[in-house]
């Protein structure tokens, strides 16, 4: 590893539809610069078409920051959008992380009567 770089693993990006427009959500795992540091998961979100990502420890907080909502009583759709993003990313990760076994090929039938 080169000096000054951290190791990162990012999930696929999923788009969640909200009343204020689409939001792209991803989850990222990062290990710090110092030797022996542990891996940390955090969430990233950005409005569709925006270039800047908002980081947070939960999906709901990342979406809230991306949508520029104040940190007071949050709308109900935010919790639903965060749950949907978590559900979709979990499905993508289990689908992608599973070892895909090759499809069994059709074995030609052997005629024993001959």
Per-residue pLDDT tens digits for 55-101: 999 999 999 999 999 988 899 999 999 999 999 998 887 876 543 33
Q: Residues 18, 77: contact at Cβ < 8 Å?
A: yes
Query: With bands split at pLDDT 50, 70 and 90, how would you rate the model's confidence at 111?
Result: very low
* Distance from C-alpha of 107 to C-alpha of 86, rounded to nearest angstrom: 41
Query: Who has greater pLDDT, 62 or 112?
Result: 62
pLDDT of residue 59: 94
Higher pLDDT, 35 or 49: 49
Pinpoint the alpha helices (H) of 1-114.
59-66, 76-97
What contacts 24+ positions apart, CB below 8 Å, involve 50-59?
58/82, 59/25, 59/27, 59/85, 59/86
User: Residue 42 pLDDT > 50, yes or no?
Assistant: yes
pLDDT tens, residue by residue, 6-36: 567 888 899 999 999 999 999 998 877 777 7
Cβ neighbours of residue 27 closer than 8 Å, sequence gap 6 or more: 10, 11, 41, 42, 43, 44, 59, 89
pTM of the model: 0.72
């Amino acid at each position: 590893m080169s000096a000054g770089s951290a190791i990162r693993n990012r999930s696929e990006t999923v788009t969640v539809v909200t009343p204020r427009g689409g939001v792209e959500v991803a989850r990222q795992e990062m290990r710090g610069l110092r030797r022996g540091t542990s891996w940390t998961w955090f969430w990233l979100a950005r409005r569709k078409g925006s270039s800047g990502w908002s980081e947070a420890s939960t999906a709901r907080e990342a979406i809230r920051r991306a949508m520029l909502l104040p940190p007071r009583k949050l709308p109900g759709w935010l919790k639903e959008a965060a749950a949907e993003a978590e559900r979709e990313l979990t499905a993508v990760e289990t689908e992608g992380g599973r070892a895909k076994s090759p499809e069994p090929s059709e074995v030609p039938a052997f005629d024993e009567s001959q």
